[in-house]
Amino acid sequence: HTNMLTVNGTRMSKSLGNGFLPHELFTGNHPLLSKGYSPMTVRFFMLQAHYRSTLDFSNEALEASDKGFKRLMNACSLLDKLKPSETSDVDIASIRQRCYDAMNDDFNSPVAIAELFEAARIINSVYDGKAAISVSDLKELKDLIQYFVYDIMGLKPELAQTEDLSQVMDFIIQLRSEAKSNKDYLTSDKIRIGLQELGIQLKDSKEGTSWSKV
């Protein structure tokens, strides 16, 4: 980012005491922050503003970026679980072209991110069985996510979605599935509610059960 940074709409100044150091964004050790935010959330937050525009830091804006980043990453994590159909009722090529147009427009990252959220919506719709995607469109969608989300934006999943936790969640989801098969809905609901209280949401579909951080 090359333009001015403000805090809650006000310029940073020593007299106002509203300045902060970069590491305070991560630790949350600042009176203006309710918690610390991950480096990926901060990166995503900065990408949501054009690099030549004024960037306004606020706890509310960081919180919104945290939720948006997780929503995008959760959708990306479902890509390999999508089942292609013979036909497609989604238009990936147009999204891809608009992403290229945004990047060619002086690295207009906010516009590109809006298109990536549209791609995320399509991923969720296909996963939920509300939309169909062909083999060729699915490949183009995967290439789109790889190129723009991971390569250009430099975004990547948080530690919460690493392989170790994924293995634990696979085990928990299997236990819940067995409980449901045995009509032990009390245990099934207890697992779901317990995970939700820990910030992990389960999502059931005809393809199985997936999980995401909330």
Give percent of the chain with pLDDT exceeding 70. 96
CA-CA-CA-CA torsion sign (55, 57, 61, 67): positive
Selected residue with higher pLDDT from 210 and 75: 75
3-state SS assignment for residue 156: coil
The yes-or-no verdict on residue 113 having pLDDT over 80 is yes
Average pLDDT over residues 174-202: 91
Q: Which helix (H) or strand (E) holds 80?
A: none
Q: What per-residue confidence (pLDDT) applies to 191?
A: 94
- Residue labelled with tokens 């059960």: 209
Q: What per-residue confidence (pLDDT) applies to 48?
A: 95
CA–CA separation, 118 vs 114, rounded Å? Answer: 7
- Residue labelled with tokens 């007299």: 15
Q: Is the Cβ–Cβ distance between 34 and 46 less than 8 Å? A: no
Tell me the one-letter amino acid at 144: L
Provide the token pair at 57: 């830091």
Average pLDDT over residues 145-166: 82
The yes-or-no verdict on residue 1 having pLDDT over 70 is no
Q: Is the Cβ–Cβ distance between 63 and 34 less than 8 Å? A: yes
Q: pTM higher than 0.85 for the full model? A: no
Average pLDDT over residues 45-72: 94
Q: What is the mean pLDDT of the chain?
A: 90
Q: What per-residue confidence (pLDDT) applies to 205?
A: 84
The yes-or-no verdict on residue 139 having pLDDT over 60 is yes
CA–CA separation, 101 vs 111, rounded Å? Answer: 9
Q: What per-residue confidence (pLDDT) applies to 2?
A: 63
Tell me the one-letter amino acid at 172: I
Q: What is the pLDDT of residues 11-50, one digit of tens each?
A: 877 788 778 888 888 888 888 899 889 999 999 999 999 9
Q: What per-residue confidence (pLDDT) applies to 17?
A: 76
Query: What CATH fold (topology level) applies to the domain 71-152?
Result: Four Helix Bundle (Hemerythrin (Met), subunit A) (1.20.120)
By CB atoms closer than 10 A (0-12, 13-18, 19+), residue 30 is middle
The yes-or-no verdict on residue 160 having pLDDT over 60 is no
Provide the token pair at 79: 């890509």
Q: Which helix (H) or strand (E) holds 212?
A: strand 208-213
Selected residue with higher pLDDT from 211 and 148: 148
How many CB atoms are closer than 10 A to CB 33?
A: 19
Q: What per-residue confidence (pLDDT) applies to 21?
A: 83
CA–CA separation, 66 vs 73, rounded Å? Answer: 11
3-state SS assignment for residue 11: strand
List every span in the chain annotated with CATH 1.20.120.
71-152
- Phi, psi for residue 10 in degrees, rounded to 5: -120, 140
